[in-house]
Structure 1
């Protein structure tokens, strides 16, 4: 498929090249910002799974250079037009208050480069540099990434001194660290087409991003990450509600409707009392898992075992009644240690949890201007249209080694490649 056909089939791919974005995913972050106002009062940001850098490019142009896009840019143009019309057609009854109000509505001059903004981008793949962006090539699932991130955010941060402070009574491992306002993640695995497997791998990537975000977010901070919508999205919403005041699953218009991709937007970070995040002991795993499972077993009511009939074998088996499972499920629980976990909010925990079997319903919001391009539609290009090259070619594509091996072998079909 050539570039022209892709420009016709994917309008946002074409617009990304025309407007200078590294990838079409930049429009997704811009449309999320229009709906949730993500960049207001934000000066410290961490971009996870950042390559090729389209979201970092948005952060650089909006937070550092002060550029405006979408609705904000349209409002500025309207204000500038009103200002020009008032200057061209002045009225006799203009009072001092009206003049003052007009001056306050005028468009501000372009902002200078902000020096107080700190943006750190992390990815396993190399990424071309951007103005004002600190790039780390690291694994977000590894505990050693947190000290690297903290040192990139605050050069004066000393991991040894922080560890010594943590060992003292009442000390904290992040005493010399200034937390961040926003953590974003556009990471996704290479999809296989097996939806259950893809959703599981994506959930593990989201789990790693959340654990790192809990380590660096300040109270009231925001977290945005890509998810694959599946049957467990309600459980994901309930889990996020433990740490954030507002959680919404959003679908930008630039995201194809035929894709299961969506974004979970978490606003108002409020960790539970006494909670301290760490990648060495992440949520739900590590040394705490056995203790949590033992506490859950101790909290179950003592109920006599019941015998359930196996219709296939014609036998009767004992099943723990408090689990409410079949005989086969109970055997799997006893053998593998699998326990079903329920999520409650604070009020339901005080009342003893839900008894009616009802579920959380995650709010879903489609964001983006309805007059914008449809990401699933094809548009006719003008006759004089010239297709542009991508803004940033791949720095380390996975197919590079395959091309080198093919060239060494003599071409695609064993033919000798002429120098």
Structure 2
């Protein structure tokens, strides 16, 4: 599932959709003929802005969105593996994951660059809290940050959260930055983006003076259609 276009992969069913929408969860369950998934994997990451705090926040929002759709499509006892940026407030994400999964840990695989703050949260034994109705957790959390955990689980939040961190066995420290080896050779991406989010911006920059004419880019297809009708703009070919 992705908002952007994807190159076809043998044996993989692709769905271009928004994971924050309930209709996407319904489409996934329909594809599984009414059955729920045993595993949800999310490798989503925001386009980096270079502003560390903002990038970490956006990654947290993506993780919450992955957790949200998991509450719709994951069977009891299922697992979630998702990318996470380890930062100052990451414990709040751990706490939310622990409300839905009995076992939560963070894993740093060898394929992840050592200088990157990314890791992968592995949450197992999914169990929907009694009385909780699947919903968009990102909006629920922002509307009721102090009472959300109590209302959804009936339990007070823990003052301290302990989550195991498992690193790939090696001589490098996942919390340090190292220089590249002198013989390092750059490797091209196996598959470059087909419909990158920044393509519209690049096209508009060629004919727009951003100092006087702001650029508006909308990635939601429904909102894009409404905006074009309102401003009488032609649709893309």
The verdict on a shared fold, with TM-score over 0.5 as the criterion, is: yes
- Establish whether residue 359 from structure 1 lines up as the match of residue 160 from structure 2: yes
Residues 178 and 405 (structure 1), Cα distance of their counterparts in 2 relative to 1, 3 Å cut: closer
Preserved contact between residue 46 and residue 58 of structure 2 (Cα < 8 Å): yes
Once residues 391 and 191 of structure 1 are traced to their aligned partners in structure 2, the CA distance between those partners, rounded to angstroms, is 20
For residues 316-327 of structure 1, what are the structure 2 equivalents within 5 Å?
none
* Cα displacement (A) at 1:289: 8.8
Preserved contact between residue 134 and residue 152 of structure 1 (Cα < 8 Å): no
- Establish whether residue 269 from structure 1 lines up as the match of residue 92 from structure 2: no
- Establish whether residue 282 from structure 1 lines up as the match of residue 133 from structure 2: no
**Which one of the candidate residues 4, 10, 14 is aligned to 1:135?**
14
Once residues 129 and 353 of structure 1 are traced to their aligned partners in structure 2, the CA distance between those partners, rounded to angstroms, is 43
Once residues 166 and 14 of structure 2 are traced to their aligned partners in structure 1, the CA distance between those partners, rounded to angstroms, is 32
SS of 1:135's equivalent in the other structure is: coil
SS of 1:134's equivalent in the other structure is: coil
* Cα displacement (A) at 1:237: 1.5
Q: Which residue of structure 2 lines up, in the alignment, with residue 395 of structure 1?
A: 194
Q: Which residue of structure 2 lines up, in the alignment, with residue 214 of structure 1?
A: 71
Whichever of the two has the greater Rg, that structure is 1
| Residue ranges of structure 1 left out of the alignment (5+ in a row) | 1-121, 155-176, 294-337, 409-419
Q: Which residue of structure 2 lines up, in the alignment, with residue 186 of structure 1?
A: 43
Once residues 138 and 6 of structure 2 are traced to their aligned partners in structure 1, the CA distance between those partners, rounded to angstroms, is 32
Once residues 189 and 398 of structure 1 are traced to their aligned partners in structure 2, the CA distance between those partners, rounded to angstroms, is 10
Preserved contact between residue 249 and residue 362 of structure 1 (Cα < 8 Å): yes
* Cα displacement (A) at 1:200: 1.5
Preserved contact between residue 39 and residue 74 of structure 2 (Cα < 8 Å): yes
SS of 1:144's equivalent in the other structure is: helix
Could you list the per-position Cα deviations for residues 148-181 of structure 1 after superposition, in whole angstroms to 9, with x for gaps in the alignment? 2222232xxxxxxxxxxxxxxxxxxxxxx11111
Residues 191 and 179 (structure 1), Cα distance of their counterparts in 2 relative to 1, 3 Å cut: same
Once residues 142 and 55 of structure 2 are traced to their aligned partners in structure 1, the CA distance between those partners, rounded to angstroms, is 25
Once residues 403 and 194 of structure 1 are traced to their aligned partners in structure 2, the CA distance between those partners, rounded to angstroms, is 20
Q: Which residue of structure 2 lines up, in the alignment, with residue 225 of structure 1?
A: 82
SS of 1:137's equivalent in the other structure is: coil
Residues 402 and 195 (structure 1), Cα distance of their counterparts in 2 relative to 1, 3 Å cut: closer
Aligned length: 202
Once residues 86 and 64 of structure 2 are traced to their aligned partners in structure 1, the CA distance between those partners, rounded to angstroms, is 15
Q: Which residue of structure 2 lines up, in the alignment, with residue 259 of structure 1?
A: 116
| Residue ranges of structure 2 left out of the alignment (5+ in a row) | 208-237
Preserved contact between residue 233 and residue 362 of structure 1 (Cα < 8 Å): no
Once residues 394 and 213 of structure 1 are traced to their aligned partners in structure 2, the CA distance between those partners, rounded to angstroms, is 25
For residues 346-385 of structure 1, what are the structure 2 equivalents within 5 Å?
349=155, 358-367=159-168, 369-370=169-170, 377-378=180-181, 380=183
- Establish whether residue 149 from structure 1 lines up as the match of residue 28 from structure 2: yes
Once residues 388 and 339 of structure 1 are traced to their aligned partners in structure 2, the CA distance between those partners, rounded to angstroms, is 46
* Cα displacement (A) at 1:254: 2.4
